[in-house]
Structure 1
């Protein structure tokens, strides 16, 4: 996917998120994040938007901490979120393609990284907001969902910070049933997971289903659609794969 496509997704998903949050109310519980109310979701995502925009707009070439969570609620919080989201979209859309700034996963360029990362960040949290509202959820494009699985398996969990470890070597296969060539083999060990986009070799466990459902399941927003083989491997993923803010 091209950077401009990711920027369009950040724009659309952020607007969907805040509409769902407003309709749910900031005190509503977030079923997909049981410890959160909508106010927590808005504070977190709005903080991340501002943090990400800072690298692109200000060209920070080393890590900079986030600005913390605001002590806002209600209409003030919604307005604060909208302002930060708009700043992020504008920063991504207006940045020079060769802008140099810090980023934390391999990417064709820093701008490509931040546009992609914030597209997936905002989409997953839009799903959270819509779960709090309780109405029908907006869809996720299959190609975008497959890209998000790539980012999670071959980006986030390739890092030394991944907690998905197994004392004995295990193999998890992730297979989309509605998207051609969307299958991943994830080798688990005492080291960070190693994922490749193919179906080479035997697997101890396979999780399968529509790619958008797999995307959300791997981010622990939905149960796995279908599990075959050793379910303990899928359970290991559920229990150890959470990506938390630090």
Structure 2
């Protein structure tokens, strides 16, 4: 996906998140994030948007310390102002990413063609997943994530976040997992050891202890631990389903 496509996805998913929140009481529990109420979700995503915007807008070359991160977010609003505060942060992030020069230099934490490409992609998926959470709090399923965005998000999760040094997905003995989209060109093979997982795009040829195969939108939310595998109606789990428990406990 191009930067402009990620920004468009961020716009659409962020707007849908606000729409779900607007029809839901702030104390409503978020079933996909059991420790949260809707108010916690809004404070989290509103803070993340403001924190993320600081890097391209100010050309910051290093990660922010706790005090500076809090300053970038600013004071948290009252419940009465929370939804408007979220909307303002979302709009400001969109403005920042749209106005930033393509060659802006700033800190990022995953491989990407450019820092701007990283922030547009990361915030599109951060927002899309939390839009799913807001729909869960509202108690009404929202629209499925676009297939192209879902495939891109699976790739970012597996080849970016899961393959990084901070990944907690580990196994005392080597175990393998394939994720295969049935509605698009996407197949990933993970080898899970005591080191960060090795991830390849294998075309579906390598054997694996467990294969998850299904539509990209279901795989996307399942891998983000928003959809229990046994409730993913169109996803097939073929092989060692014990890997699902390892993923649920360690991946995200």
Q: CA deviation at 1:71?
A: 4.3
- The 5 A counterparts of 1:198-213 are 198=202, 199-213=204-218
Describe the shift of the 1:97–1:76 C-alpha distance in structure 2 as closer, same or farther (beyond 3 A): same
Which residue does the alignment assign to 1:197? 201
For the residue of structure 2 that corresponds to 1:24, the secondary structure is: coil
List per-residue Cα deviations over 1:26-54 (Å, max 9, x = no partner).
11111111110000000000000000000
1:232 aligns with 2:237: no
Q: CA deviation at 1:70?
A: 4.9
Q: CA deviation at 1:142?
A: 0.8
Which residue does the alignment assign to 1:4? 4
Which residue does the alignment assign to 2:251? 241
TM-score scaled by length of structure 2: 0.92
TM-score scaled by length of structure 1: 0.94
Which of 159, 184, 188 lines up with 1:184 in the alignment? 188
- The 5 A counterparts of 1:118-197 are 118-179=123-184, 181-197=185-201
Query: What is the rounded CA distance, in whole Å, between the counterparts of 2:88 and 2:78 in structure 1?
Result: 14
List per-residue Cα deviations over 1:162-181 (Å, max 9, x = no partner).
111011111101111222x3
Which residue does the alignment assign to 2:100? 95
Contact preservation (8 Å) 1:56, 1:99: yes
For the residue of structure 1 that corresponds to 2:18, the secondary structure is: helix
Unaligned runs of 5+ in 2: 230-234
Q: CA deviation at 1:202?
A: 1.2
Query: What is the rounded CA distance, in whole Å, between the counterparts of 1:142 and 1:47 in structure 2?
Result: 27
Contact preservation (8 Å) 1:44, 1:69: no
- The 5 A counterparts of 1:32-71 are 32-65=32-65, 66-67=69-70, 70-71=75-76
For the residue of structure 2 that corresponds to 1:106, the secondary structure is: coil
Which residue does the alignment assign to 1:29? 29
Query: What is the rounded CA distance, in whole Å, between the counterparts of 1:143 and 1:221 in structure 2?
Result: 19
Contact preservation (8 Å) 1:26, 1:73: no
Q: CA deviation at 1:211?
A: 0.7
For the residue of structure 1 that corresponds to 2:89, the secondary structure is: helix
For the residue of structure 2 that corresponds to 1:61, the secondary structure is: coil
Q: CA deviation at 1:14?
A: 0.9
For the residue of structure 2 that corresponds to 1:124, the secondary structure is: helix
Unaligned runs of 5+ in 1: none
Query: What is the rounded CA distance, in whole Å, between the counterparts of 2:120 and 2:132 in structure 1?
Result: 18
Query: What is the rounded CA distance, in whole Å, between the counterparts of 1:56 and 1:85 in structure 2?
Result: 15
Q: CA deviation at 1:136?
A: 3.0
Q: CA deviation at 1:69?
A: 8.2
Describe the shift of the 1:23–1:213 C-alpha distance in structure 2 as closer, same or farther (beyond 3 A): same
List per-residue Cα deviations over 1:97-149 (Å, max 9, x = no partner).
00000000000000000000000000000000011111231221111101101
